[in-house]
Structure 1
Amino acid sequence: MDKRYKQSRYNFFFDAEDGTHLAFNAMSGGLAIIEDGNRDEVQRILADPNSYRSDTEEKKRLWDSLLKGGFLIEKERDELAVLKMRNRVGRFNTDSFGLIIMPTLQCNFRCVYCYESFPNISMKPEIEEGIVRWVRERTRFVKTFHVSWFGGEPLLRFDVIKRLGSEFKKIAEDRGCQYGMSITTNGYLLDEEKIKQLVPLDLQRVQVTLDGPPEVHDRRRPLANGRGTFNQILENLVALDRLAPQVHITLRVNFDKTNLMYVPQLLHILPQGLRDRAGIYFRHVFSYHRNWSDMKCEKLANPSQNIAELQKKSIMSDFRHDPADSIGPMAAYCYADYWNRFVVGPEGNLYKCTVAIEPGDRVGYITPHGKAHTTPLLEKWASVDPFEDEECRNCKWLPVCMGGCSRPRVYGEAKVCFIEQGAAKEQLNNIYWQFKKEAQKLAALSVAL
């Protein structure tokens, strides 16, 4: 019996700024350009695929392309069931193991919007030893192991990073598993000497935040003594670009109403070398723990639209679209949703989220002997299910959101929807523009060759 087909429930059709007809399937991540002459034909196929006759080579090509991109699927396929399977298999897969380690909660910056309180807590040798023992046991059967350093400012305890980083690399080599590490740092202490010592520890990625041109950034992200930080950070980034070309650089820009207008200036003053290889993404400042009246920031009416506009400007300034801002299918929204990923605090406490590290957020702890004990809160994180939410279940953006941040659901707070349809389409438009720009570069290169 011949197969029967239907249109995917997760298809989107819209026009790019230049009038190009685009199609996006949230389930597969397929982004397609539909030529003017084929637009009506595509709609005819999707409207009644089982009566459509592919009696020419062009019609057959269109049919095959829609099938390959996931716009057309087998009639018996239950896409919601596929999403559930993707979610379960991804979240509870034990082939990979990931840690975000906070060697200290201290920081040398005093950013105006920071949610941390900077207690004088740093990792002690017995906690380091407990983590090493726990990791040695936990990685016995994994295929990949990744460590990300976070804080506070992790480079304040560079000694811990070196010691544990060396141990983790040895463990991964003994286990025969793939290993790498990354670091989220304010960048001020990331000098040439530290870069040279981090690279042999399998450093793969560095994320640094810049909030605007020097005078704007320095107001928002000063040292604890009030001095500016922009120039030193930029000097260190240039050194990283020169000394470690294999390390991926991600620039993050935090914005609110007070600095939004200055962000484009930042894009233009950064060296071309950084623009050519760094990914950049944008996040609006919002409050998890503090009242807005306590923060020296101002809320925005439509931050998702602002992000899309900044993405477009960054692409036009030769930056790459960073994966952090990509739209595509995922198994879960965040690292916190995955069973085998944890945040490790400086006292050996285990958490699921870097913005939930208060005593009541603990999901477990590691003893100096390398044993991990868990709390009932871990079960709450593991049992979060976006498919129980009718609004999420019926949303066409579910494959690229998977219910959004789990934290509100864990703590019984109001759900936060991170997808705004207009802004999401703008971001897809930006991905199209990046592909178009890269194609133009390749065409120019082929002519030059």
Structure 2
Amino acid sequence: MKLSRYLKVFPSPDRPGHVLLYSTLRSSIAAIPAETLAALQEGVLPDDGCEALRRLGMLIEDPDAEREQMRELIARANGRTRHFKASVVLNLDCNLDCGYCFEGEFRCGQYMSDATADLLVEKLVRDRISQGWDVTVTFYGGEPLLSQDLIRGISQRLREAARSHGVKYAFNLVTNGTLLDRNTALQLLPLGLQGAKFTVDGPPEIHDAQRPYASGAGSFDIIVGNLAQVCDLVSIQLGANYRPENYREFPRLLDLLPRYGITPDKLAAVMFTPVVSTGGCSDLSSGCALSEEPWLMEAVPFLREATLARGYRAPTLKPSACIVELEDNLVIDCTGKFYKCPAFMGWEGMSVGSLDEGLQDYRVSHGIGNWQVDACLDCSYLPLCFGGCRFVSKLQGNSLTEVDCRRTFYDATLEKSVLQNLTYLAPRKKATAQSTFVQAAAPPY
């Protein structure tokens, strides 16, 4: 057996003479003596601990086979799913005036027509629900709750169709939070509402400067008040968009939330996201559009530490790929056009079809599988990025066939994230006197 190539080694912070092994593919952690690691690297297997490392995905039978399995990993995942996920843009209108909004340059107050909504329902029922697929819709905008009649009409029909075909329908909201009060949530729950993403950009004075109403008035109190009203009804993800000059103030938001009754058990995750470009999709993003700017390499682990230290959940370290690689994820804008990522809306030539025309072949135009080259397949970080973010590649003026390499970012931040997991998330396990290995499997976070 040999060590996996998708493995990082860090010094153990509290056990002299030991190292931490972290599997980027399995999200598992183990501590072993440094001399044991040296033996493994020489191909010498110790008498104790090999089975534990094998179960954690750190020792493998065939490195070449592992490499080929990685090449096929996303294709296998796409082949297994029977769950279609659509982000549906109901309008390009909003009651807030966020200075970094990526839709600012093409927002026109346009709303999805009833005819387009009818066609959307028809396509989802015919092509997915009637074929045995579960469907989850994420309603997006603009501000989707400015189109509540459409949400109700679309969801009622899809829910009835799903029930009649023995599959599941549910929907989420990506909302600025100003309109999702308890009464609205209670009305939408029977139609399939299961979760919402709110955005609160830090403590009140920062949030109100970054996310004011169109009138200029602050929105913090309304949004946090609504969040407190609904966080016990649906799963809530809390997003917060920070800048280099203010990210150190964002932990104060986490200190304020319990005063409103928004304790860690009330939120599914807190996702701090950098505002890196007005062309990005901050509200919907989970932080994929990272860059190699030095301040971000300090800000990302700083804010993750602040989140975990206060008991809130932070984004996980796990294998993940750009959304364009996932076949059964699609963005449908308010005119019925298809996109593979919300950030591509408004960009010339980035549509991949429409409700009228169907889905076009986007494999070449969107660089599908651009990471299937030796440099990526041999990189220990491949499971964490799979070629990075296509939108970042586009912002940098590159073809989408070029990878957005994350090596510099992970070199600077991954060790800190692993240590955070051990400190705040991993179960504590004491080794017996006879054990060669101290093992900590990835927690279910």
TM-score normalised per structure 1: 0.83
1:401 to 385, 388, 400: 385
For the 8 Å contact 1:145–1:180, the answer to whether it is kept is yes
Q: Does 1:8 align with 2:8?
A: no
* Pairwise CA distance, 1:251: 0.9
Q: Which of 168, 174, 190 is residue 200 of structure 1 equivalent to?
A: 190
Whether 1:392 and 2:376 are equivalent positions in the alignment is yes
**Which among 84, 89, 109 is matched to residue 97 of structure 1?**
84
**More deviation in 171-180 or 189-198?**
171-180
Partners of 2:35 and 2:56 in 1: how far apart?
16
- Partners of 2:322 and 2:380 in 1: CA distance: 19
Q: Quick one: which amino acid aligns to residue 238 of structure 2? A: L
Instruction: Find the counterpart in structure 1 of residue 117 from structure 2.
Output: 128
Secondary structure in 1 aligned to 2:343? coil
Out of 322, 341, 347, the position equivalent to 2:329 is 341
Distance apart, 1:409 and its partner CA: 6.0
Q: Would you say the 8 A contact 1:277–1:320 is kept in 2? A: no
Secondary structure of the residue that 1:320 maps to in structure 2?
Answer: coil
Letter in 2 for 1:396: S
Question: Which residue pairs with 1:296 in the alignment?
Answer: none
Matched, 1:374 2:359: yes
Give the Cα–Cα distance (whole angstroms) in 2 for the partners of residues 176 and 334 of structure 1. Answer: 31
Q: What is the one-letter code of the residue matched to 1:350?
A: F
Q: Given the superposition, is the C-alpha separation of residues 202 and 227 from structure 1 closer, same or farther in structure 2, using an over 3 Å criterion?
A: same
Asked whether the equivalents of residues 45 and 63 of structure 1 are also in contact (C-alpha less than 8 Å), the reply is no
Partner of 2:286: none
Identify the match of residue 362 of structure 1 among 351, 364, 375.
Answer: 351
Give yes or no for contact 1:205–1:249 (8 Å, CA) kept in 2.
Answer: yes
Q: Deviations over 1:295-353 (max 9, x none)?
A: xxxx96331331111111111112122xxx221224xx133321222111111111111
Which whole-Å CA distance do the structure 2 matches of 1:93 and 1:353 have between them?
22
In structure 2, how many angstroms separate the alpha carbons of the residues matched to 1:10 and 1:250?
Answer: 30
CA distance in 2, matches of 1:437, 1:78: 32
User: What SS does the corresponding residue of 2:264 show, helix, strand or coil?
Assistant: helix
Aligned pair partner of 2:33 in 31, 39, 44: 39
Aligned: 1:162 with 2:152: yes
Q: 1:274 aligns with which of 255, 259, 263?
A: 263
Instruction: Rate the CA distance shift 1:232–1:53 in 2: closer, same or farther, 3 A.
Output: closer
Offset at 1:135?
Answer: 0.4
What amino acid is aligned across from residue 167 of structure 1 in structure 2? Answer: R
Alignment of 1:410-425 (within 5 A): 412=399, 415-419=403-407, 420=409, 421-425=411-415
Give the structure with the higher percent helix: 1
Q: Describe the SS at the equivalent of 2:364.
A: helix
Report % sequence identity.
Answer: 26
Contact 1:112–1:221 (CA<8 Å) still a contact in 2?
Answer: yes
Secondary structure of 1:355's aligned partner: helix
Does residue 144 (structure 1) correspond to residue 128 (structure 2)? The answer is no
For structure 1, the 5+ residue unaligned runs are 291-298, 440-449
- In the TM superposition, what whole-angstrom CA distance separates every residue of 1:362-408 from its partner, at most 9, and x where no partner exists? 111113xxxx42345x3435652133444323321001211111346
Change (3 A) 1:437 1:28: closer
Partner of 2:177: 187
Q: Tell whether 2:70 aligns with 1:83.
A: yes
**Is 1:303 the equivalent of 2:296?**
yes
